[in-house]
Structure formats: structure tokens, C-alpha cells
Chains A and B, each alone.
Chain A
Amino acid sequence: MALDDSKREFRFVGTRPDRPDGLDKVTGRARFGADMNAAGMLHGAILRSPHAHARIVRIDTSKAEALADVKAVVTRADFAEVPFKPGLAGEVWNVLENVMAGDKALYDGHAVAAVAATSALAARDALKLIEVEYEELPYVTDVNAAMRQDAPVIREGAADFSVPDDMHPNVVRRHESGHGDVEAGFAEADLVIEDSFETEATHQGYIEPHACLGQLGKDGKGELWCCTQGHWIVQKTCAALLGIETANLRVTASEIGGGFGGKTTVFIEPVALALSRKANRPVKIVMSRAEVFRATGPTASASMDIKVGMKKDGTITAAQGEFRLQGGAFPGAPGDMTAMCAFAPYDLKNVHQVGYDVMTNRPKQAAYRAPGSPMAAFAVESVVDELCRKLDLDPIEVRLKNAAREGTKASYGPRFERIGLVETLEAAKAHPHYAAPLKPGQGRGISCGFWFNHGGETSVSLALSEDGSVQLMVGTPDIGGSRASMALMAAEVLGIPYENIRVTIADTASLGYNDVSHGSRVTYASGLATIKAAKDAVRKLSQRAAAKWGIPEDAVKWEDGCAVPSGPNAGDFDPLPLAEITAEMGQTGGPISGHFEATPEGAGVSFATHIVDAEVDRETGATKVVRYTVIQDAGKAIHPTYVEGQFQGGAAQGIGWALNEEYIYGEDGRLQNAGFLDYRIPVASDLPMIDTVIVEVPNPGHPFGVRGVGETSICPPLAAIANAVSAAAGVRMRHLPMSPPRTLAALKARDA
């Protein structure tokens, strides 16, 4: 069987077996970040800035160090010297500066010192004895204010080459793309709408706070256990921040209690290692929820201007947008991705987009599920919805009329390969939800959403046991059932039962480099690598059969878990099952394993269409989502139940973002709602059942047709819900979240 042929008929793929880690997770046995201990272990705690922006004049740790329970105190001086570079070229410096402040505290919650003590309580007590003298500085937390010429400067020289010289130093990256002539396009339109939108910063809101257990000796060799979406990036970054060699740090990923992009970098891990090196004992650090809110995540906030022109028949003649993203005190806000995603669902002759990455005195933003795309979709899909209303056109028909298809030149440059946007729109049009009557006071919204998806560096190793069972080692932490998908894909190629394959997330010492579990890449890239590693093993198994039978290798094929002669001329031999070949492998050439290492490039973009019905309480301004349908192209659903789970989870996070979740800063520049009581994520009683439709338009870049599904599901909800609320309230909602006070104010302004 050639390695690159595509498969469309399946025996295991598409079934819904129990996940292999299910038992551990329903019995409390599964070990997450905070569930690991070591002999002689100390507990670490981190002192954080109470100021939005302040020069650190002096840190006196002597009183804390004098305590008998305290075994080590670290500040920035205990980390490696890392060169500063502008923009994302200086990301290692940016991460170090975020992990432990240098000359200045840059946001409320910024780490300034840390202690390791014999108990967690002793460590917390010791923090109170560290004296820090601050010189408070002017601060800014709003994106538009941070771009004004009179804004306080966060850091000179952080901007890269893309930013014009006349812009404020807080603007650190600029992106521009598009094609055609937008002015000519607007001139052809029957109606042009221009409007501005804002979204507030939200947190990924994983239920498991960051936790780690690290040990680092004076010999530069260390061990680290932590909850992360990618332990190789943790290994590489910690090594750089501590000045040790990468291979000398072995990192093991624990079970991970949610990440959504927020666990793709390091915060406490280098601190635990620095404390351990100083104390010569293992150090565990577990963040509190308040620390998670103040110093990790969040997503960027956005301020956006959109202009779209349409003909009376619904044809979009031109579109343009400017997207200003605030990403905290470091470069990295996804102004570029926001701009590139904004108009991706449309086949446009004339399109132009500009994105800005802007620094403020807030925590360093981290990726959150399709970073930038949900905000862009909110702004663009709101304007398209308004055009449909004014021109009295059906919103699905208008999107079908302008939909991107195979061969369309994307708004961000390349030509699309086979994509499934039209199929999701057709499925939405045909869905009973779209035709269902609405009750008085309810509104319906629809939106499309887009995400690129990602391949990334990937290594997989598959080892056969004598009894024919299989150990599959992947390097992408399982954030939503991926071990089940990997086992299904391996079973499909090997032709042996799903249950005979044990999937392990290997540590950094046991497998080659793997990129993080992000970019919806795991089922695509680790899946592709699993298929190819299994095919590599099948090739070796077939060689053993050929040798046993004394026939050429190409006269053997693999069928239903057995080597068989490829045809009548190959010879007359009984099928040789996998377990019979492995039983003899020690004598027939040694152990059999399959490997694959590469950076797959065919991730295949993905589109979704969501339909939502919302009801607005005119007295309180509160919104209730009463019906929700997700329709998304999965390429090929390996384990459909977990694909549905990704669709539902993305929609639920989108509902939280649209209706309630936001970082609220006070006049003092400090975060006002660093807890789950005041930062309210959706609870069970807030939500309806979330219906799903899995569309399957195979991705030509994956042997089984897989497209990543994790991120696209959060792209349409903000816009779809805003369109539903705008319809229900009779007023265009331009600022997320549409919390009760904000919606009430909009209702009052409408009636005034």
C-alpha cells in the first residue's frame, strides 16, 4: 500500500468506543498537574505586583530568608541573561520578563520574587516578609488609549520593522493584506455600511490552575512534571531561561485539566526549577485561581472598524477592516490573524485588512482557541447581518452567494483547496432549526466562522509487543480525547482491535520533538504521523512474512491484521496474523517498531455555520440562549462523539464570551474580577442542549481526510449571538460581552 493513498472506507474510524483514559478519570485516579509529590519536596509561592506599572527600586528578601521554614528565595537575578529583541523575535526575553519582572512591574499580578518553603502555608507567610519598594508609573489598559500619542510608554524599542515610525511605541506589530481595489468596489455597491465594534479580554478559564513539580541539580540536570499543552516547548523555554542544555531537562506532561491555548507557554515552571536549583530539593508550585486570572492567559481585547459594500442582489462588492488588538505588556496580540480571518468566508474581488498588535499594562495575552478569529467574525458578520436586514435579504442566501469555495483566492492571499463552507451553509438552510418559528421577544442569528488549522513538528513511535499488542507513543498532550482517536487510526491501519493499542503521551526523553497541542493540530498531525508510523510497522511486518514464505516483499499485502500473498501468482500461503509475526520477531530480525517524524503542511482550513435563538429580558437586559445549532466541517470525524464535544465546548465558550465574560479594570489599573464568582463562565443552568451537525468534506492533506475541529467552533458564536440579540432587542449590539447592564443601556438608548 502506498503511504500517500487516501482511504475512504473504514472499519474502526468513525466508531465511538470508550476512551482509554475514561476509567482513570471517573474514579479520581488520573494524575493532573497538582497531583504529584516527591520526597523532600518544598512548596513554592510567588510575590506579585499590586501596581499596574511601577519601577522596582529595591527588593529586600532578608527577612523571608531568615525564616527556618524558607529554603530558597529567587528574583530575576537567579535566571539566565537573555538578549532583548524587538517584536516576536525577542519572544524568549518576553517570556522571561513575564515569568519574573526585571526593572519594572508591567501589570497588576506581575511576578517579582518567589520563595520555597517546607509547606504551602509557610511559603505564603514568607511572601509577606519580602519588602519591595516601587516607584509607581503612569499606566494604560485600553487599546485605543494605548495608541494615542500621549499614552504612557510600556517599553521603547519593542516594535518590529512592520510598524511605521510615526506610531506610538506601544504599537509593536502591523499587518496589512488584501487584493483588488476597495474604493472602486464601494463605488459599485448599492449600500455601504461602516461601523465599529469592541470585544473585551476573556480568559481561557480552564478549571485546573497551572501546577508543576520541578527538580534541578547543580549539575544542570533536571526533571519537571507539569500540566501543559506541549512539554517540548516547556523543555526548550525553561532550558533557555535557566541557562542549561535542553536535553538535560526531562519534562513529563501530566493529565491536563483544560488549556484552550492558555497552557502553550510557561509561567511557574522556570520559577520552580530556579527555586529547586537554589534549595537543592524538588519544588512544587500550584497557582491560585486569582493568580491564574491576574497573571496567565487572557485573550486579547479588540477594537475594530469594518466597512462592507453590497449590491441589492446580495453581492458583496468590497470589504475592509482595521483591527486593533491589545495583548498586555508584550508583543504577541494576534492583530495579524484577526485581520486574515475576518473576511475568509467570502469570495471577494476587493478586500483590504490591517491589524495592529498593541501593548498595554495588562498580563501577556496567550492563545485562546482560534486567536483573533472570533472577534473578527463578530465585527464582520454583524455588518453583513445589518446589510441583509437593510436590503431585506436572507442571511444564509447572501452568504451562499458570496461563499468561498475551492479555487477562491482567500482574503488573506492563497487559493483555497477543497473546503466545506458551502456544505455547512446548505446544511444550515436545510436544518429544522432555521425554519422553526420564534416566540415573541426572541431573535435568531447566524454566522460563519473560519480557522486556518495547523500542522507543526510531529514525532510518533509505535512499538509492537510479542503478543501482538501495540504501544503507541505520541507527544501531543491529550486535551479532549485524542488518545481514543489515535488508537482508532492505528487500529484502522494495523487491522487489530482498538483495545489492543495503548496510547501514551511520551515524555521529552522518550520521543523526538513535538509541537504543542494547539492550532487544532492533534488529530490532524499526530493522527497523520500515527497512520504513517503504523504503515511503517506494516511494511516491516510484511517483510518478515515475505522472508518466512520465501517470496518477494512486494508479493505481500496487509489485510485485516494479516500478511497475505498479494495475488494468486505470489504463492499459496495462509494469512499470517500480526501476533504470529511478532511472536517470532526476536528470531526473525529483532523488535518491530514504526516511526514517523515530519512537519505536515496539509492541515486543511475549516469553516462552520452556527444558528442561535436568543431571548432578551427587557427589564433586566439579561439574555438567555434558547436554542443553538453548530454545523461544522470536520473533514472526517475519527471519533464522532468527541468531535461533537469540541463543537459543543467551543459554542459554550463563545456564549460566555458573548454574554458575560470580561476582564474588568478599575481606575487604578488593577483587575477587579479575578475569581469565578465575578468572572462568570457559563454554568449548566445557563445553557440549552447544543445540537451538532458534522459535515464531512475530506481534507486532501490527510490520509483519512481529517481537518482539525477544536478551534473553528468558537469562531461563529460571538457574531451569531450578537445577531440574535440585536434582532431580539431591536438595536445593533456593538460591544461584547452583551452583559445585562450593557444590553439594558442599549435598550434605553434605542427608546430615548
Chain B
Amino acid sequence: MSRVHVTTTVNGDETEFLCDPRETLLDCLRDRLNLTGAKEGCGTGDCGACSVTLDGRLVCSCLVLGVEAEGREIGTIEGVAQGDELHPLQRKFIEHAALQCGICTPGILVAAKALLEKSPDPTEEEVRYWLAGNLCRCTGYDKIIRAVMDTAAEMREAV
């Protein structure tokens, strides 16, 4: 099957790749662009480990085709820190030990960042329901929820 040429913007940088039309955006990010921060945990949109933003909207990149990235803006975990300065969520996740194995962490950080941009003062219940599409098998979510709430509080103070 002939490959399709796609031009897209990833974390602010314009880039291009060739892909099979059956390949998902997740496959293209990982295999074509070598951005392996997004993970495939299920391939069916159930686990959220592949979370990225597409024109600012949170999506499971395993449910988006690579060709759909044409002319769009993609945000991945690799673009969450600004140079060597971590996003407050990244700092708080380390500080709160909100990760054990760390496989779900990139997806959860991308999803939590999207939440805080929409809702800077979320309740615990809001955080739990927003992150309900991101599975974590190690932590029981306790320290993840605390890290997100603590980040939100710190970011509100900084404004």
C-alpha cells in the first residue's frame, strides 16, 4: 500500500512524515517521529497512556489516524516542559511520588495539564472523573490526585 505524506506541527515544530493510511497517530509519533513518550497500553482508547492534544483537545492518539494530523497541531509529553524547566505538574508528580512504574505518567500528565488549563480550581471529584480515562495499575491514584490538586493550588497562587 502506498504511503501518504503528512505535514503537521508537533510541540510547536513543523514536521513531516510518510505513513501507511492504516497507521494511528500514536504509531506515527512513536515509529515515524521517534517520540516514544506516548505509550500504547491498549490500542482501543481505554487506558489513556497515549494521550496527546490535537489542536488543543485531549485525545487518545491510538484512536486518531496518522493522516488526520495533516495541518493540525499536536502536543505530546515531550513538549510539556519548557526547555529544562519542568511544568509544575511534572515537579509535583516527582515530589508526591505520584508514579511507580511510570508507564501511565506521560498520558496522565498530558491529561491533567489539559484539565488545569480548562479548570484551574478543580474539586477532587472533578480530577477523579477527568482522569477516569487514564488507567494506573500501581498507585491506587491517591498520590496522583494529591499531586494534581497541589499543582492546581500552586498555579493559582502564582497567577
Contacts from A to B (Cβ < 8 Å): 16, 18-19, 21-23, 25-32, 34-35, 37, 119-121, 204-209, 255-260, 286, 288-289, 479-481, 641-642, 644-645, 648-649, 651-653, 675-677, 681-687, 689-690
Tell me the complex Cα distance, A69–B35, Å: 25
Contact B101 A676, beta carbon cutoff 8 Å: no
Q: Does B86 contact A (CB under 8 A)?
A: yes
Tell me the complex Cα distance, A642–B131, Å: 22
Tell me the complex Cα distance, A256–B100, Å: 10
> What residues of chain A lie closer than 8 Å to B49, measured between beta carbons?
207
Contact B44 A677, beta carbon cutoff 8 Å: yes
Contact B97 A645, beta carbon cutoff 8 Å: yes
Contacts from B to A (Cβ < 8 Å): 20, 22-23, 27, 30, 34-44, 46-47, 49, 76-78, 80-81, 86, 90, 93-97, 99-106, 109, 125, 127-129, 131-146
Contact B43 A289, beta carbon cutoff 8 Å: yes
Considering only CB atoms, which chain B residue lies closest to A31 in the complex? B36
Tell me the complex Cα distance, A206–B47, Å: 11
Tell me the complex Cα distance, A35–B102, Å: 14
Contact B139 A28, beta carbon cutoff 8 Å: no
Contact A675 B144, beta carbon cutoff 8 Å: no
> What residues of chain B lie closer than 8 Å to A648, measured between beta carbons?
139-140, 142-143
Contact A257 B101, beta carbon cutoff 8 Å: yes
Considering only CB atoms, which chain B residue lies closest to A628 in the complex? B140
Contact A26 B137, beta carbon cutoff 8 Å: no
The residue that A288 contacts in the complex, of B43, B80, B96, with Cβ under 8 A, is B43
Contact A27 B37, beta carbon cutoff 8 Å: yes
The residue that A208 contacts in the complex, of B39, B134, B146, with Cβ under 8 A, is B39
Tell me the complex Cα distance, A34–B43, Å: 14
Least distance between B109 CB and chain A CB atoms (Å): 6
Least distance between B14 CB and chain A CB atoms (Å): 20
Tell me the complex Cα distance, A200–B49, Å: 27
Least distance between A581 CB and chain B CB atoms (Å): 33
19 A–B contacts, CB within 8 A, in A order: A21-B102, A22-B93, A22-B94, A29-B37, A34-B39, A204-B137, A207-B101, A207-B136, A259-B101, A260-B137, A289-B44, A641-B143, A648-B142, A649-B139, A681-B137, A683-B132, A684-B132, A687-B128, A689-B142
> What residues of chain B lie closer than 8 Å to A119, measured between beta carbons?
20
Contact B103 A208, beta carbon cutoff 8 Å: yes
> What residues of chain A lie closer than 8 Å to B37, measured between beta carbons?
27-29
Tell me the complex Cα distance, A35–B106, Å: 14
Contact A258 B90, beta carbon cutoff 8 Å: no
> What residues of chain B lie closer than 8 Å to A683, measured between beta carbons?
131-135
Contact B40 A28, beta carbon cutoff 8 Å: no
Contact A207 B104, beta carbon cutoff 8 Å: yes
> What residues of chain B lie closer than 8 Å to A21, measured between beta carbons?
102
The residue that A684 contacts in the complex, of B35, B46, B141, with Cβ under 8 A, is B141
Least distance between B103 CB and chain A CB atoms (Å): 3
The 4 closest A-B pairs by CB, nearest first: A28-B37, A257-B103, A652-B140, A25-B102
Contact A645 B143, beta carbon cutoff 8 Å: yes
> What residues of chain A lie closer than 8 Å to B129, measured between beta carbons?
684-685
Judged by DSSP, the binding face of B is loop
> What residues of chain A lie closer than 8 Å to B96, measured between beta carbons?
641
> What residues of chain A lie closer than 8 Å to B43, measured between beta carbons?
288-289
The residue that A480 contacts in the complex, of B22, B127, B138, with Cβ under 8 A, is B138
Are A23 and B140 CB-contacts (below 8 A) given A645-B100, A676-B46, A684-B132? no
> What residues of chain A lie closer than 8 Å to B141, measured between beta carbons?
652, 682, 684, 687
Least distance between A635 CB and chain B CB atoms (Å): 20
Contact A481 B135, beta carbon cutoff 8 Å: no
Considering only CB atoms, which chain A residue lies closest to B108 in the complex? A684
> What residues of chain A lie closer than 8 Å to B46, measured between beta carbons?
289, 675-677
Considering only CB atoms, which chain A residue lies closest to B81 in the complex? A27
Contact A256 B135, beta carbon cutoff 8 Å: no
Least distance between B143 CB and chain A CB atoms (Å): 6
Tell me the complex Cα distance, A288–B131, Å: 23
> What residues of chain A lie closer than 8 Å to B35, measured between beta carbons?
28
Least distance between B152 CB and chain A CB atoms (Å): 15
Least distance between B66 CB and chain A CB atoms (Å): 12
Tell me the complex Cα distance, A694–B120, Å: 34
Contact A481 B78, beta carbon cutoff 8 Å: no
Contact B102 A257, beta carbon cutoff 8 Å: yes
Tell me the complex Cα distance, A34–B46, Å: 19
Considering only CB atoms, which chain A residue lies closest to B94 in the complex? A22
> What residues of chain A lie closer than 8 Å to B27, measured between beta carbons?
120
In addition to A642-B97, A689-B142, 11 A-B residue pairs with Cβ atoms within 8 Å of each other are: A28-B38, A28-B76, A119-B20, A207-B104, A209-B40, A641-B143, A676-B44, A685-B129, A686-B132, A689-B145, A690-B140
Least distance between B149 CB and chain A CB atoms (Å): 11
> What residues of chain A lie closer than 8 Å to B42, measured between beta carbons?
289, 675-676
Considering only CB atoms, which chain A residue lies closest to B110 in the complex? A28
With most chain A CB atoms within 10 A of its CB, the pick from B30, B39, B80, B138 is B138
The residue that A258 contacts in the complex, of B22, B80, B103, B131, with Cβ under 8 A, is B103
With most chain A CB atoms within 10 A of its CB, the pick from B46, B90, B133 is B46
The residue that B94 contacts in the complex, of A19, A31, A258, with Cβ under 8 A, is A19
With most chain B CB atoms within 10 A of its CB, the pick from A21, A23, A208, A644 is A208
Contact A684 B127, beta carbon cutoff 8 Å: yes
> What residues of chain B lie closer than 8 Å to A684, measured between beta carbons?
127-129, 131-132, 134, 136, 141, 144-145
Are A25 and B132 CB-contacts (below 8 A) given A480-B138, A645-B97? no
Contact A207 B93, beta carbon cutoff 8 Å: no
Contact B95 A18, beta carbon cutoff 8 Å: yes
Contact B94 A255, beta carbon cutoff 8 Å: no
Are A676 and B47 CB-contacts (below 8 A) given A645-B97, A648-B140, A690-B142? yes
Tell me the complex Cα distance, A748–B158, Å: 55
Are A26 and B140 CB-contacts (below 8 A) given A119-B20, A121-B23, A684-B132? no
Contact A651 B20, beta carbon cutoff 8 Å: no
> What residues of chain B lie closer than 8 Å to A690, measured between beta carbons?
140, 142
Contact A481 B137, beta carbon cutoff 8 Å: no
Considering only CB atoms, which chain A residue lies closest to B127 in the complex? A684
Considering only CB atoms, which chain B residue lies closest to A36 in the complex? B36
Contact B36 A28, beta carbon cutoff 8 Å: yes
Tell me the complex Cα distance, A685–B80, Å: 25
Tell me the complex Cα distance, A687–B36, Å: 30
> What residues of chain B lie closer than 8 Å to A205, measured between beta carbons?
137
Considering only CB atoms, which chain A residue lies closest to B131 in the complex? A684
Contact A258 B138, beta carbon cutoff 8 Å: yes
Least distance between A65 CB and chain B CB atoms (Å): 20
The residue that B41 contacts in the complex, of A22, A208, A644, A677, with Cβ under 8 A, is A208
The residue that B90 contacts in the complex, of A26, A288, A645, with Cβ under 8 A, is A26
Contact A685 B22, beta carbon cutoff 8 Å: no
Contact B104 A479, beta carbon cutoff 8 Å: no
Least distance between A628 CB and chain B CB atoms (Å): 9
With most chain B CB atoms within 10 A of its CB, the pick from A22, A256, A648 is A22
Tell me the complex Cα distance, A682–B47, Å: 11
Contact B94 A23, beta carbon cutoff 8 Å: yes
